Amino acid sequence: MNFARKISLRNYLVEILLLIACLGIIIPLLLMIFGSFMTSAEVSKFQIRFPDKWMFSNYVTVFKEGGLARAFLNGIVITGVSAILNIMTSSAAAFILARRDSKVASYLYLFFFMGLIAPMSTITTIRVVQWLGFYGSITSVILIYAALNTAFSIFLYSGFIKSVPKVLDEVAFLEGASLMGVFFRIITPLIVPVNATVAIMVFMSVWNDITIPLYFLTDSSTWTMPLSIYNFYGKYSRDWNLIFADLVMTSIPVLLLYLAGQKYIVSGLTAGAVKG
């Protein structure tokens, strides 16, 4: 067997494995979508087929009984503010770390890089938030999400900023610009693709998360949509059609955001990996 045939055979095997992996995602997705329009009796069979009668009323019931309007607003506030706060702090920190050639900057970069590996200590974080006095509030969740995504964001920003020539900074300093002026006038316009990538990645991770709201949001009026699904399942555990409808409505914002911004994810990750 020559080298070309080996490469061709390997590509076929990879395509088959990818196809199987895709089926593992598509089959549950179709089951959820079709099941959300079925009756309770139909959906209990767990078959991928068109419903006998399209029950759009399932979504109306879920929207009213599940309190999705309030949960949707809570999710938008938490994810939006977390993403903005993360972008502002991470980009500024990455700019300093990328431009300072010192051991302190190197150690700080490694310190942030450890955040990609080290897990979060939930009990310790709860005690710290209680000590600060805002346990149970949306503010605590926003700050936690912004901090949890800082390591990945700094990693992307640093890689991109290091690829920007320092000559641009030096010219701006010669013209009288301050450090903040260089950041906002020179660096900020250049990191727009990375900003888009960070915003989308943070949005998807925060929107789909259930553990942080479960531990840190004590009032049901501040719950997010994934947490509302957890509560909704407790009330309607036998009505899988309603549960599927709830899951579909929760997934739509992330799906639309990903479809609209997938090119920014690829370009931003590529830009941030120029110099790691």
Per-residue pLDDT, 2 = 66
DSSP string, 221-241: GG--HHHHHHHHHHH-TT-HH
The CATH superfamily assigned to 57-272 is: MetI-like (1.10.3720.10)
Q: What is the mean pLDDT of residues 240-265?
A: 82
How confident is the model over 189-231, as pLDDT tens digits?
Answer: 888 888 888 888 888 889 888 889 888 888 878 888 888 888 7
Give residue 55's pLDDT band: very low, low, confident or very high (50, 70, 90).
confident
Look up residue 102 and give its DSSP letter: S
* Nearest alpha-carbon partner for 225 in 198, 245, 199, 196: 245
Give residue 269's pLDDT band: very low, low, confident or very high (50, 70, 90).
low
How confident is the model over 238-251, as pLDDT tens digits?
Answer: 888 888 888 888 88
Q: What percent of the chain has pLDDT over 70?
A: 94
Global pTM exceeds 0.75 = yes
Per-residue pLDDT, 275 = 46
Give residue 3's pLDDT band: very low, low, confident or very high (50, 70, 90).
low
Per-residue pLDDT, 145 = 92
Mean confidence (pLDDT) of the chain? 83
Give the pair of three-digit tokens for residue 100.
Answer: 């300072």
How confident is the model over 33-43, as pLDDT tens digits?
Answer: 888 888 888 88
Give residue 68's pLDDT band: very low, low, confident or very high (50, 70, 90).
confident
Per-residue pLDDT, 265 = 67
Per-residue pLDDT, 266 = 63
How confident is the model over 141-188, as pLDDT tens digits?
Answer: 999 999 888 888 888 888 888 888 888 888 888 888 788 888 888 888
Q: What is the 3-state secondary structure (H, E, C) of the chain?
A: CCHHHHHHHHHHHHHHHHHHHHHHHHHHHHHHHHHCCCCHHHHCCCCCCCCCCCCCHHHHHHHHHCCHHHHHHHHHHHHHHHHHHHHHHHHHHHHHHHHCCCHHHHHHHHHHHHHHCCCCCHHHHHHHHHHHCCCCCHHHHHHHHHHHCHHHHHHHHHHHHCCCCHHHHHHHHHCCCCHHHHHHHHHHHHCHHHHHHHHHHHHHHHHCCCHHHHHHCCCHHHCCHHHHHHHHHHHCCCCHHHHHHHHHHHHHHHHHHHHHHHHHHHHHHHHHCCCC
